[in-house]
Amino acid sequence: MADDETPSQTQESSTAREFSANGTSMSTTDVEAKLDKGNIEEAESSLRERLSLNSEEARTLLGRLEYQRGNVEAALRVLDGIDLQAAIQKLQPSSQQAARLVLEGVYLKVKSLQKLGKFAEAAQDCTNILDAVGRIFPQGIPDAQVESKLPEMISKAVELLPELLKQAGKYQEAMAAYRRVLLNPWNLDNDCCGRIQKAFAVFLLHSGLEAGPPSLGAQADGAYVPKNNLEEAILLLLVLMRKIHHGDIQWDPSVLDHLMYALSLCSQTPVLSKQLEELKPGVFHRTERWNLLALCCSGVGQNKAAMNLLRKSLHINERPNDLTALLLAAKICSEDSQLAAEGVGYAQRAVDNAKGVDEHLKGVGLRMLGLCLGKQAKVSSSDFERSRLQNEALKSLDSALSFEQDNPDIIFELGAHYAEQRNLNAALRFAKKYIDITGGSVMKGWRLLALILSAQQRFAEAEVVIDAALDETGKWEQGPLLRLKAKLKVSQSRPMEAIETYRYLLALVQAQRKSFGPMKIDSQVEDDKVKEFEVWYGLAALYSSLSHWKDVEVCVKKAREMKQYSAELVHTEGFMRQERGEIQEALASYINASLLDPFYVPSKVWIGALLSKLGSNSLPVARTLLSDALRIEPTNRKAWYHLGMVHKDDGRLADAIDCLQAASMLEESDPVENFRSIL
């Protein structure tokens, strides 16, 4: 039924041009002529005499006729005289047709008011209809006693009321109306109820108002009560999905779209995965289902499962050029050095297929290509290949920026890539641009700027930047900034101030944990443990540089309570033993740290350094370890220095000079914290 149709168009439709009531019919011609002359009373009198109708019933037929003819204002003038109280009195099982006609007249009046923009008046009259029906049928309309037209008209009114309140700007009343119409026994069919549930869910998601939980009177004992708009919307959408699964209502793709949006807001994509798996075959093409499942998996960090699904979807016999799947696969690969080479292929295919209406996605593809190339460069075993890949990565990111000139992510990534390559002037330009374009609202931009300044040995300016960032950041998010500030103080030979900063940071972390208490989920607790570990480890490293070994032992012990197996802690213990002259014990600690984390560079460097002092037989092993450290972290100045000393002891003076020069240059541009820490 179209939105403007009345609930009971039969023989009296505008095409038939006749009225029927009480077993009698008459043509509309005479009545229309009277109405055209403005003689409403004569038209009403004619209907009452010919069809044995009372005044309200006759006005309903006249109003319907005017409404169908498109004369909305005229219809309203006719229908304005209907007495709702009279309709209520007649709304009894013995007089259903008469009552239905009059209530239909009120409904037509509501529709007329809506068309004329009088939404508040329309909502009030619509409420009157539902109040009347609710009073007469508190347990719902008995199907056996009521003809089909009355429930149909009531369903239309039930569905219309919240929409009218929204149009009138009465959003809180609309919330209450949605709950009223869904909780009351209106005998709604599945389709009508589904439409209302979907409209309410969308309103909860996008209205910007907080509805609050339902009133106590509407809560059933033992029933789950949603705590906020998002929970209530998800609950409604899950109910709709269940109806779809059972075949009660037809498949509506927008329901799944809204559910995807709602669940993504609260990082509950596994729930969406379950819904997708329950959909019957044929609803989605299998590749579309795989892609959505991959998106759900990647949303909760299950990248391995996501990639397995995407590889199936992008198989040559499926949809190998699906742009969305290619971009998602490239994004996942860009976060893992071991998958970076595979990601380059996906990203390049995405760039090649971003044509026509999808050309706007070419910038996204180029960005993913740049990120994958940059990650691939980090695991390259050849210096030449690493340099080539890094240059290609920068070219791709530059090209991406030409498509999306104000994309802050690309600007940040360019700044970070230039910083890693020690092109500090270019990096500084992009870091400042990132802060400008984000308004200083993103912490990593401040951190990048401070690290670049520290690499330029401008420590005081870097500290000013961190202080500005702290002013812009909530106290619970200040941890990384305070840790960086402590390192800047160390670089300025102010260790006691650095210790105070770490102590303040430790107090902040512990206060944060107490503030949230037992209500926090496990992952949040684990995150806090990691943050507290970083504070204790930072203090241990600081005390180690000051040779305060008892304090180092205390901090290491505290950190181990947070994280039992840590390459960083074992390495710190090794350094402490080395400084005490316990070389074999230190070497054992460094080896254990490397076993815990094969990519932990500091331990590789010190193993190589210590082995180089054990005689010429150990030099090949030391050289291998130091070269491996530089493969992982090409800008580690200590690795270059010790590799240069190994070459010197081995008689390779030219290689030694090159390595020592590299170490000297890197020392002049060494940040207080590795640039990789912000990527």
442 vs 333: CA distance, rounded Å: 24
Whether the predicted pLDDT of 16 surpasses 50 = no
For residue 607, the model assigns a pLDDT of 96
Angle in degrees, 0-180, between the axes of helices 408-420 and 383-403, rounded to the nearest 10:
160
pLDDT tens digits, one per residue of 480-489: 899 999 999 9
Whether the predicted pLDDT of 13 surpasses 50 = no
Beta bridge partners of 19: 26
More confident residue, 320 or 519: 320
% residues pLDDT > 90 (the chain)? 53
For residue 93, the model assigns a pLDDT of 53
pTM of the model: 0.74
**CA distances in angstroms from 580 to 113, 283, 536, 553, 585, listed in the order given:** 90, 70, 21, 13, 10
pLDDT tens digits, one per residue of 185-197: 777 889 999 999 9
The CATH classification number of 29-138+147-185 equals: 1.25.40.10
* Residue 614: alpha-carbon gap to chain centroid: 56
Measured over the CA atoms of residue 615, residue 381, residue 377 and residue 297, the dihedral's sign is negative
Angle in degrees, 0-180, between the axes of helices 119-136 and 149-167, rounded to the nearest 10:
140
The Cα angle at residue 486 between residues 485 and 491, in degrees rounded to 5: 95
How big is the chain by its Cα radius of gyration, in Å?
A: 37
Q: How many CB atoms lie within 10 A of CB 142?
A: 10
Mean pLDDT of 122-139: 83
Mean pLDDT of 42-62: 83
For residue 222, the model assigns a pLDDT of 55
DSSP label at residue 54: -
For residue 278, the model assigns a pLDDT of 82
For residue 95, the model assigns a pLDDT of 66
% residues pLDDT > 70 (the chain)? 90
For residue 331, the model assigns a pLDDT of 96
Least confidently predicted of 217-221, 307-311, 389-393, 501-505: 217-221
Ordered alpha helix ranges (H), 492-636: 495-516, 522-545, 549-562, 567-579, 583-596, 601-611, 619-632
Measured over the CA atoms of residue 348, residue 349, residue 355 and residue 358, the dihedral's sign is negative
pLDDT tens digits, one per residue of 560-607: 988 888 999 999 999 999 998 999 999 999 999 999 999 999 999 999
* Residue 111: alpha-carbon gap to chain centroid: 39
Least confidently predicted of 16-25, 375-384, 647-656, 658-667: 16-25
For residue 40, the model assigns a pLDDT of 81
Whether the predicted pLDDT of 18 surpasses 90 = no
Whether the predicted pLDDT of 255 surpasses 90 = yes
On whether the 601-671 domain is CATH 1.25.40.10, my answer is yes
DSSP label at residue 493: T
Whether the predicted pLDDT of 14 surpasses 60 = no
Mean pLDDT of 499-515: 86
CATH 1.25.40.10 maps onto the chain at 29-138+147-185, 601-671
Mean pLDDT of 470-476: 86
For residue 28, the model assigns a pLDDT of 82
Measured over the CA atoms of residue 130, residue 134, residue 139 and residue 141, the dihedral's sign is negative
Whether the predicted pLDDT of 550 surpasses 50 = yes
Tokens 């710190």, residue?
572
Whether the predicted pLDDT of 1 surpasses 50 = no
Is the distance from CB of 367 to CB of 334 less than 8 angstroms?
no
- Return the structure tokens found at 348: 């390049």
Whether the predicted pLDDT of 218 surpasses 60 = no
DSSP label at residue 18: E
Whether the predicted pLDDT of 41 surpasses 80 = yes
Task: Name which of 201, 232, 187, 200 is nearest 214 in CA terms.
Answer: 232
The mean pLDDT of the chain is 86
Residue 146: in which H helix or E strand, if any? none
For residue 143, the model assigns a pLDDT of 63
Least confidently predicted of 100-104, 140-144, 280-284: 140-144
Range with the largest mean pLDDT of 78-87, 91-100, 193-202: 193-202
Task: At 61, give phi and psi (nearest 5°).
Answer: -65, -40
For residue 45, the model assigns a pLDDT of 87
* Residue 107: alpha-carbon gap to chain centroid: 42
**CA distances in angstroms from 490 to 209, 532, 545, 648, listed in the order given:** 49, 20, 10, 32
For residue 428, the model assigns a pLDDT of 97
How would DSSP label each residue in 67-120? HHTT-HHHHHHHHTT--HHHHHHH-SGGGHHHHHHHHHHHHHHHHHHHHTT-HH
Measured over the CA atoms of residue 245, residue 248, residue 253 and residue 255, the dihedral's sign is negative
More confident residue, 517 or 194: 194
How many CA atoms does the CB half-sphere of 416 hold within 13 Å? 25
Least confidently predicted of 278-287, 402-411, 524-533: 524-533
Task: Name which of 72, 77, 161, 84 is nearest 124 in CA terms.
Answer: 161
Whether the predicted pLDDT of 673 surpasses 70 = yes
